[in-house]
Amino acid sequence: MISPRQDLRRDASFPPPHPILTAPRARLLVLGYGNPGRQDDGLGSAAATLIDKLGWPSVTAFDNYQLNIENALDVAEHDIVWFVDAAKTGPAPYAVRRLAPSSTFDFTSHLVRPETILAMAGHYFGRTPEAFVLAIRGYEFEFIEALTPKANDNLQSAAAMLADRIRALIEPVTS
């Protein structure tokens, strides 16, 4: 796990992205998932909404209640993918983990892991983008359509970090 305070560009365990991925035209996908009707389970959806509001032309951001095998096509059409979900446990405000494709296609109709989506993108569409999971710490998961205050604070921190990472990839560097 990468702590939220680590600068991913300076971390030796976090190699720089391939040069083609840092070109101004890199296509990025932010795929938030979770149920906004279950309090903090809506963190992934809320993060995708915040990123979408930035209006960056090379960034696609949307949300689902859950990941679906159909998302493999969306993933294959991008160079970098961020899967964003709520975390019931783990560090606050968030954790980032680099993903690798699963070696098997393990899924049910109600559970598809991001690693499986990556594997399907590679197998069926010939493209496996660089991918990460952003797990935003949540606290309450009752049937209420509102984030808890602590989860909302975590969302703001996570969205700011994600926006900074995306901005660094899509905006040209000026001297």
* 136 occurs within a structural domain: yes
- Structural contact between residues 86 and 36, judged by C-beta atoms closer than 8 angstroms: no
In order along the chain (175 residues), what is the average pLDDT of each group of 10 residues?
41 50 73 98 98 96 96 98 98 98 82 95 97 98 98 98 95 66
Task: Please report the pLDDT score of residue 16 as a whole number.
Answer: 55
* 55 occurs within a structural domain: yes
* 135 occurs within a structural domain: yes
Helix (H, G, I), strand (E, B) or coil at 170: helix
Domain of 68: which CATH number? 3.40.50.1450
* 33 occurs within a structural domain: yes
Task: Please report the pLDDT score of residue 105 as a whole number.
Answer: 81
- Residue 149: closest CA among 39, 35, 49: 39
* 34 occurs within a structural domain: yes
* 149 occurs within a structural domain: yes
Give 9's contacts (C-beta < 8 A, 6+ positions apart): 16, 168
What's the whole-model pTM score?
A: 0.85
Task: Please report the pLDDT score of residue 108 as a whole number.
Answer: 76
* 164 occurs within a structural domain: yes
* 90 occurs within a structural domain: yes
Total number of domains in the chain: 1
Residue 62 belongs to domain spanning: 25-170
Whole-angstrom CA distances from 5 to 9, 10, 82, 124, 159 are 12, 11, 18, 36, 14
Task: Please report the pLDDT score of residue 175 as a whole number.
Answer: 55
Helix (H, G, I), strand (E, B) or coil at 55: coil
Task: Please report the pLDDT score of residue 107 as a whole number.
Answer: 78
Task: Please report the pLDDT score of residue 111 as a whole number.
Answer: 86
